[in-house]
Amino acid sequence: MNGKPDPEELKELLQDDKTIQTNPGAHEKHPTASHSGEGSNRGLEFLYDVPLQISVELGRSKILLRDLLKMGEGYVIELDKLAGEPLDLYVNSRLIARGEAVMVGDKFGIRLTDVVSTADRVENLG
């Protein structure tokens, strides 16, 4: 086993999970659902408590080491995105969605405006 999930198996699991969410009890009759142990289904429930690293990116820039060493308070780094362009939302370093910055109380948040399709996300796992 190489540690990477098989994209075809993930597609099957995601499809099984959609069936379970839209039709509770359907997993019991689903022909591709396999059971192990004490009747647990093969859905994605076992992954629900896995912690994920989420980051929002405003933009990127490349700088020289000498400029990095000159940085101090008030230093400005020009990013490659224009003002008003959507922010990128990454989960474990994979692009998942784009959105706009919002204020939630006294904290920043992101309102998703474009989510990468499930099929594209699964395809990019490998």
Q: Quick one: pLDDT at residue 26?
A: 43
pLDDT computed for residue 119 by the predictor = 84
Amino acid residing at 99: G
Same structural domain, 61 and 121: yes
Which residue from 90, 17, 26, 72 is spatially nearest to 47, judged by alpha carbons?
17
Strands 107-115 and 87-91: unpaired
Are 36 and 79 members of one domain? Answer: no
Whether 57 and 110 share a structural domain: yes
Domain boundary among the residues 31, 48, 65 is at 48
Q: Residue 46's pLDDT is what?
A: 86
| pLDDT, block means (10 residues), the chain with 126 residues | 61 59 44 44 81 94 94 93 92 93 93 90 73
Tell me, yes or no, whether 23 and 66 share the same domain. no
Q: What DSSP string describes 36-48?
A: BTTTB-SSSGGGT
Considering the domain architecture, whether residues 20 and 70 belong to the same structural domain is answered as no
What pLDDT is recorded for position 5?
62
pTM of the model: 0.58
Q: Which domain holds residue 37?
A: 1-48
CATH of the domain at 106: 2.30.330.10
